[in-house]
Amino acid sequence: MSKLLGGMGNMLKQAQQFQVKMKKVQEELSQKEVEAGSGGGMVKVRVNGKQEVLSITIEPEVMQDREMLQDLIAAAVNEALRESQKMLQDEMGKLTGGFNVPGLF
């Protein structure tokens, strides 16, 4: 019985260590940024690892065509979010040793 309790204590300790590491990775990700563009760089979007849009840069030439501008913004935001998600998955993969933990990200 004491071996079972000792094993449970060890698992709890490992879970706590994992939680601390996870919090550190999340903090680090909030400081990392990715940038993506569309329209040959006419619209650029910067996103951090917390999936927050930090900035959108629009070249003046595309401001003439509203529909095209809307499409370019949507495309750039979506690409930046994909890049940010990939960065998140890469960092979490390092933390989990490549194991896919459902619900983690």
Q: Which pLDDT band, with edges at 50, 70 and 90, does 36 fall under?
A: very high
CATH of domain 2-96: 3.30.1310.10
Domain boundaries of the chain, sorted by first residue: 2-96
On the question of pLDDT at 69 being above 80, the answer is: yes
Q: What is the largest CA-CA distance in the chain?
A: 75
Confirm if 71 and 50 have CB atoms less than 8 A apart. no
Query: With a threshold of 0.75, does the pTM exceed it?
Result: no
The span from the CA of 29 to the CA of 24, in Å, is: 9
The span from the CA of 49 to the CA of 18, in Å, is: 19
pLDDT in tens, 48-61: 988 999 999 999 99
Confirm if 95 and 105 have CB atoms less than 8 A apart. no
